[in-house]
Every structure is written in structure tokens, then in C-alpha cells.
Amino acid sequence: MLAPLTTRARAKVNLSLKVLGRRADGYHELESLVAFAGVGDELTLAPGPELGLSIGGPLGSGLETDERNLVLRAARALADEAGPLRWGRFHLVKRLPVASGIGGGSADAAGALRLLARLNGMSRGEPALLRAAARVGADVPVCLDSRARMMAGIGERLGGPLRLPPLFAVLVNPGVPVETAAVFRELGLQRGQDLSPAGAMPDLVQPSVDALVALLGASGNDLEAPARRAAPILGEVLAGLAALPGCRLARMSGSGATCFALFDDCRASAAAAKALQRSRPGWWVKPTVLR
């Protein structure tokens, strides 16, 4: 019997996010600088004849374990693209909040594809693997390698991996799921509507922390305003982060509701997380490093 395989499904954080328009097919064109956190879910694959999924962990209660789950959808998509696979039973330890703008489900799906690739002797660049990732969800391709890079379009256009300096951060989610579709409805773009092109972010060849924070400060997240209308508590989260001692930047990730704040070092981020957790014990608060 083959030994179980394990991977981490790290949280995806949109350091910046521009909406460039809405296509005639209804999808929105985006441009985003993405980094990955040191916190995430854990996924294990026990090889066997039948495909299945079980879920545990602090945030796993109530999640579906049938074909609606992105882990199983990813496995089925890869089988459709590559032909018969060796697979087995997955077990997901869920530590990331759901519907939270940090790609938890997408990271889980990408983790499933990585494990199946290892089990079946596929390289990370296998075309069938990339096609399966794109079929499952817009954020799944960027989560396959979980490395900082620019992503554009609806997630299908990825820039090369970037060497960003470590960013000491606090991730915060108030426990309110925010549906991406609701945020885009609040954004209110019409089909075919174009916005001014953003262009790729400059000076990303091994930038210093100060240069990167300044660059991020001049950008933003175009989904933040509509997300705050859909979930007003986001204004409270962002204000709370901005007020923490040493906060250099506070911003929402993706379509929310997870927000993040950047600090100069790990001591400052850990102290800020501890203070926020004391004042908001019902919130999900995690100090981490973004890379």
C-alpha cells in the first residue's frame, strides 16, 4: 500500500486588485498582485481505488464532502483531461474561513491537483494539469505553485514568479461570508464596459519592503467599496487594522471579507494580532508572513 501524500493549501492574498472592465460574456477582467501566506489548510491523499473526501479542522464543520466540493471537482476535472488516474481518499483539515477572499477553496483544489500529479508522475507544467486547474476556478491556476506573481484576465494570464521581500502581516476575518457574485453586483459594471487599463505594476524586480509598501499604497482594491456596501462590517475591520500600532497598510483581499495589515517585523505583527484578538475574540485573526 502506498503511503499517504500531504500538501499545504496556503491562503492567497491579493495585495492589489484592479477591475479593468466586464466582458461581453459577463466575466470581469482583473489585474492583481498576489502573494501567499504562511497559514493555510492541509490536504492528505490516501491512495486507493475509490475517490472520496472527509473534512476536519477548526473551520470544517458543515462543509460538503460530495461532488460540490472543489477538491473532488479538481480530481474529476484532471481525470477528464488526462484520462484514468490513480487517486484515493482525501482528508482536508480546514483552517481557513470560507467565502473569505483568500482563495481557501481554490487552494484546496490546487492542493488536490498537486497530490494527484505526484501520485501519477505528472510535472507541474503538464498541460492537462493546467487545463484542469482553469476548469475548476479562476484562482486555482495561481494557487498551483502558490508563488507571488501578477495575475490578469479572469485568472488565466499569469506572470512569472516574483521575488518579493517577506511581508509581515495580520489576516483578519470577521466571520461574515461575502459572496463574490454579490460584490460584483454591487460594483455594477455593464457587459462590455471597459475601464481605463491599469498596466502591469512597475518595479517588481526584487523590490525593497519600503518600495513595495509605497507601490501598494498607491494602488488599491477596486472591490473594497462594493464589498463594504455588501458587508458593512468590513469598514470596522479595516479601521481596526489601520489603528493598530505599527500598521503600514490595511487592505481587503479579493472580494472579502478577509482583510490584512502589513507591519515592519514579526514582533509588531504578532503583538498587533494579540491585541486585536483580545478586543475581538469572535474574529479569525492570524499573524503570518506573505511571500
User: For the residues of 156-186, what is the DSSP string, one character each?
Assistant: TEE-----PPPEEEEEEE-S----HHHHHHH
Residue 1: predicted pLDDT:
74
> What fold does the segment set 5-158 form as a domain?
Ribosomal Protein S5; domain 2 (3.30.230)
Q: Is residue 139 annotated as part of the catalytic site, yes or no?
A: yes
The Cα 260–Cα 285 span in angstroms is 10
Residue 88: predicted pLDDT:
98
Other Cβ atoms less than 10 A from the Cβ of 181: the count is 10
CATH 3.40.50.720 correct for 167-290: no
Q: Where are the alpha helices (DSSP H) in 34-126?
A: 70-82, 104-119
The Cα 258–Cα 174 span in angstroms is 7
Per annotation, catalytic residue among 18, 41, 94, 139? 139
Per annotation, catalytic residue among 12, 18, 94, 286? 12
Residue 205: predicted pLDDT:
73
Amino acid at 114: R
Residue 197: predicted pLDDT:
65
Residue 137: predicted pLDDT:
96
Peptide bond into 257 cis (omega under 30): yes
Residue 288: predicted pLDDT:
98
Every domain range in the chain assigned CATH 3.30.230.10: 5-158
DSSP 6: E
For helices 70-82 and 104-119, give the axis angle rounded to 10 degrees.
40
Average pLDDT per run of 10 along the chain, which is 291 residues long?
A: 94 97 95 97 98 98 96 98 98 96 97 98 96 97 97 94 96 95 96 76 76 94 97 97 98 97 98 97 98 95
The Cα 52–Cα 45 span in angstroms is 9
How far CA 229 is from CA of 208, 235, 257, in Å, comes to 34, 9, 12
Every domain range in the chain assigned CATH 3.30.70.890: 167-290
Task: Give the total residue count for the chain.
Answer: 291
